[in-house]
Amino acid sequence: MTHPAEDPSGVGSASLGARPALAAPGAHATGPRPQRAVGLTAAEVAERVARGQVNDVPVRSSRSAREIVRANVFTRFNAIIGVMFGIILVVGPIQDGLFGLVIVANTAIGIVQELRAKKTLDSLALIGEARPQVRRDGTAQAVPTGGIVLDDTVLLGIGDKVVVDGRVTESDGLEIDESLLTGEPDPVLKHPGDEVMSGSFVVAGAGAFTATKVGRQAYAAQLAEEASRFTLVRSELRSGINDILRFITYLLIPTAIGLVISQLTVEGNDWREAVRRMVAGIVPMVPEGLVLLTSVAFAIGVIRLGRRQCLVQELPAIEGLARVDTVCLDKTGTLTEGGMDVVELRPLRSADARRSADDRPGPGGPPAGHAFADPELLGQALGAMGGADSRPNPSMQAVIDAYGPPPDGHWRVLEAMPFSSARKWSGVQLLEPQGTEGSWLLGAPDVLLPAGDPALAEVDELGARGLRVLLLGRTTVALDAPDPAAGLEPLALLVLQQRLRDDAAPTLRYFESQRVRAKVISGDSAVSVGAVASHLGLAGAERPVDARDLPADGEALAEAVDLTSVFGRVTPQQKRDLVGALQSRGHTVAMTGDGVNDVLALKDADIGVAMGTGSDATRAVAQIVLLDDRFATLPSVVAEGRRVIGNIERVANLFLVKTVYSVLLALLVVFTNVPYPFLPRHSTVLSTLTIGVPAFFLALAPNNERARTGFVRRVLRLAVPGGVIAGTATFAAYMVARANDSTDLEADTSVATLTLFIVAIWVLAIVARPYTWWRLLLIATMCGAFTLVLVVPWLSEFFQLSLSGVRDPWVGVGIAVVAGLLLEVVWRVIVRRTDA
């Protein structure tokens, strides 16, 4: 699909399936027209389906159900926890094995949520799936990509993606971009007999090809086997968590070995007690819930966005868009709606008058006394041009709606030159009512007219009002000449009005409020694009830049792009260069688009966002597809990404503080040769109330903080000192209690548990800031639950907690308060350094 911002001619390709009969004697033709194939019959299709010669490669928008279960169950930490749980089942009692049930529940939650996300993704992918056209029994019909069979005749038009390998059978100026496969930037003109590869896409013309390789034999399918689309985008969040978990694994093994030896030595007379305390020391070191909550947060993000008709084709793209600081917008289809209306057809001076005034006869201009400046004849010519296009884009559809087909027999299409983003015009060769032949061009005035032409001032005046202006001209130069536009006689200006999206201005204001810069990059004239952007209130829109005037040097280009908000007359390659220039300045760039000439820029951008009604090619390379074409959905995607990243960073602090204090306690126990302060049941209640339950709610809460790089560094800044403070305070309270009465291990353990709970809940209170009513209620609920464990007899007996006496418990509380105040100091220092 070609859109008016990128198709200044307003004329897309002429489809082979609906072109009037061509090639009158003496017509200028680009070559003989081959006999159109009727395609397969229904019986032949059924036969090939029965033989399995069908394009049965599944569209993968998510992991399979088997992969989801395997990824959530068979993890290194689940293996560690599973072994520990098995040990407890042997030595007992069952309350010390509660952590195993928690892991089972967590894993089940992760599987259920990701399966829900998969269902959402798959249903949305089905809605947004390309439906190529094939010719069967002589008629064109749309079929699912998986419905193409071997030897099918597949039709191609501008913006269509080549979905299977094949050989060209029909070509009408068919140009294929194979850059996504070969890296070569220039489109390739295809002739009958040439090969086409799946994964390429049409940038100009029309044609058809016979499918020679389908299913997993096709080129694109073989590439897809190498990598799933689900994980192509790099996720700093997941990479950072994986790095942390890898380090913890290396730290965990020697610490666990030392703990096993020390507890067997200390509890030599009761090996079961030694094993239980050893397990209690190892289990808290594993931040098993961190991986779970990351997956759940991403999965719920997919579900939420799916409800807004937003297809996330690569899951980490949610995170990527949250980090974006620059959004490059295609004007048409993003800021404006697809539909257009003809405002007026403004005839220019007659051919004779212009020649007399300019004293520059065109080498192929019309004969003296030509009357094509007559508005009625101009309208008929436009109607004939529209009739040559069976797949009109919005601007050509506006022409068709305004002028309709010309009277029968008055005009006859002989040949057509499809639109090209490089040319900025398209043309049709017509047999005219007088019996003469002429080439009619429709395109960008500043491309078709020489510099200084009087009509350009008129074009600029109209463009400054936000109107779209195309030039209609005629020449007797054949379309297959080296430069058909060289002898063009300008005849009229076609003035079109674009429809602004009602959600464009609020969306731009949202990005501005979030310090995300918006840049409009369009193939339309810079003045026209600037007028539209100014009307929407985009900062800097009053200074639009024509991309043809941009410097070619990399550093100079980067500086110019960094300082400019609106660009016009941008070619597809320039779009790609502009994105690269922004990235060279350290910007994280998102690119939105719907036309085929957005593909290269979408592919190179950090995050590509395609409109649902855009071309097959744009949807194929984008990470996010807005199925309802609503530009206003983008803020929701940004907000969802920020929620995921910000909240995972919060809960990561909780989990890693626990890991740090668990490792520290284990090391202190090994070096002092004392019993480990906790049993597994104590670790379970502490983890559940200070981390597990709070983290689940915090991970799903709203969060509009802008995402920043350096996830691992920021998390460790609090987790390491917080864990050291918590572990030191707990061990100090434990040793004080032991010094007073080393024989009552249950009382000593209870004091240590109380101290650690207070410090851990203090960490939770810090991480949960800024406070809202529900966050305060969450903290209060966790404190209330722990109080119940201490005061309700059967709960305190079940968890083996009994605070005897007054001095030791209050000493533990005092140590915990001092540790909490120290945490506050550390937190404020960290916040100050982070914000600096």
- Residue numbers annotated as active site: 330
Using alpha carbons, list the distances in angstroms from residue 125 to 27, 164, 612, 626, 634. 46, 19, 11, 11, 18
**Token pair recorded at residue 760:** 């851990």
Whether 13 and 419 have beta carbons less than 8 Å apart is answered as yes
Q: Which residue from 128, 14, 76, 8 is spatially nearest to 613, judged by alpha carbons?
A: 128
In sequence order, the 6+-apart residues with CB closer than 8 A to the CB of 673 are: 262, 265, 266
Whether 95 and 89 have beta carbons less than 8 Å apart is answered as no
CB burial string 138-168: b at 16+ within 10 A, e below:
eebeebebebbbbbbbbbbbbbbbbbbbbeb
**Token pair recorded at residue 127:** 């809605």
Whether 246 and 224 have beta carbons less than 8 Å apart is answered as no
**Token pair recorded at residue 399:** 């022409």
Tokens 């061509």 belong to which residue?
Answer: 22
**Token pair recorded at residue 247:** 């380090």
Whether 760 and 657 have beta carbons less than 8 Å apart is answered as yes
DSSP classification of residue 764: H
**Alpha-carbon distance 44 to 740, whole Å?**
91
Question: DSSP assignment of 93-108, as one string?
Answer: -GGGGHHHHHHHHHHH
Q: Which residue from 554, 481, 556, 560 is spatially nearest to 519, judged by alpha carbons?
A: 560
Whether 6 and 522 have beta carbons less than 8 Å apart is answered as yes
Strand-pair category, 607-611 with 133-136: unpaired
* Sign of the dihedral through C-alpha 553, 558, 563, 568: positive
273 exposure class (CB count in 10 Å sphere: 0-12, 13-18, 19+): middle
Q: Which residue from 214, 213, 210, 198 is spatially nearest to 160, judged by alpha carbons?
A: 198
Distance of CA 496 to the CA centre of its chain: 32
In sequence order, the 6+-apart residues with CB closer than 8 A to the CB of 91 are: 272, 275, 276
What phi and psi, each to the nearest 5 degrees, are found at residue 502?
-70, -15
Angle at 503 between CA 500 and CA 509, to 5 degrees: 110
What phi and psi, each to the nearest 5 degrees, are found at residue 404?
65, 180
DSSP classification of residue 13: P
What phi and psi, each to the nearest 5 degrees, are found at residue 348?
-90, 175
**Alpha-carbon distance 166 to 830, whole Å?**
60
**Alpha-carbon distance 560 to 578, whole Å?**
10
Q: Helix or strand or coil: residue 503? A: coil
Q: Helix or strand or coil: residue 523? A: coil
**Alpha-carbon distance 488 to 611, whole Å?**
36
Question: DSSP assignment of 321-390, as one string?
Answer: HHT--EEEE-TBTTTEEEEEEEEEEEE---HHHHHHHH----TTPPPTT--TT-HHHHHHHHHHHHHT-S
**Alpha-carbon distance 352 to 407, whole Å?**
27
Distance of CA 43 to the CA centre of its chain: 41
**Alpha-carbon distance 38 to 138, whole Å?**
4
**Alpha-carbon distance 340 to 336, whole Å?**
9
